[in-house]
Amino acid sequence: MAAGWVPPRSSTAKLSKTDTFRPLASIRPHKLREGVFARAINGNRLTLAVVDLEPNSSVPEHHHENEQLGFILQGSMTFTIGGEARVLHAGDTYEIPGNVPHDAVAGSDGCTAVDVFAPVRADWEKLERTDPFPPDWPG
């Protein structure tokens, strides 16, 4: 490979100078449930979300077509995936195949998780969004 070679950009890739870099605190959160907010960034094929769960808040059992991968940044939550429950703490990861039922309950200190979904969580676009407010992470 020649020095200075740069791979060609996809003809479908689009970058917006205003959206390429953003502070997390500037992203308007989606209200997923009472006490559960997701700051999402959508690419062409996936969604990256930082999800804040208030202490003891919950996400009832549900499923979606999207594959979901994630890890806990801070706090804890009890995550049930396909009937198997685990208490997860900062640094723990999880994998949820598409259409597998799952639910979550935040611990007494709340929880911040990072989730990646493929394909994009287009269904979130219809959810209520709040004005930006300081995220739980970074503290």
- Is 137 a domain residue? no
- Is 46 a domain residue? yes
pTM metric for this prediction:
0.86
> pLDDT digits over 65-93, tens only?
999 999 999 999 999 999 999 999 999 99
- What CATH code is carried by the domain that includes residue 62? 2.60.120.10
pLDDT, residue 19, reads: 74
- Is 86 a domain residue? yes
> pLDDT digits over 127-138, tens only?
999 999 999 988
- Is 2 a domain residue? no
Are 114 and 3 within 8 A, CB to CB?
no
For tokens 């703490």, what's the residue? Answer: 89
Residues 100-116 have a mean pLDDT of 98
- Is 116 a domain residue? yes
State the residue range of the domain holding 98.
27-125
- Is 134 a domain residue? no
From start to end of 1-139, where are the E strands? 30-33, 36-42, 47-53, 58-62, 67-81, 84-89, 93-96, 102-118
User: What contacts 72, CB < 8 A, 6 or more positions away?
Assistant: 88, 89, 90, 91, 92, 93, 111, 112, 113
Q: How does DSSP classify residue 124? A: G
Number of domains present in the structure of the chain: 1
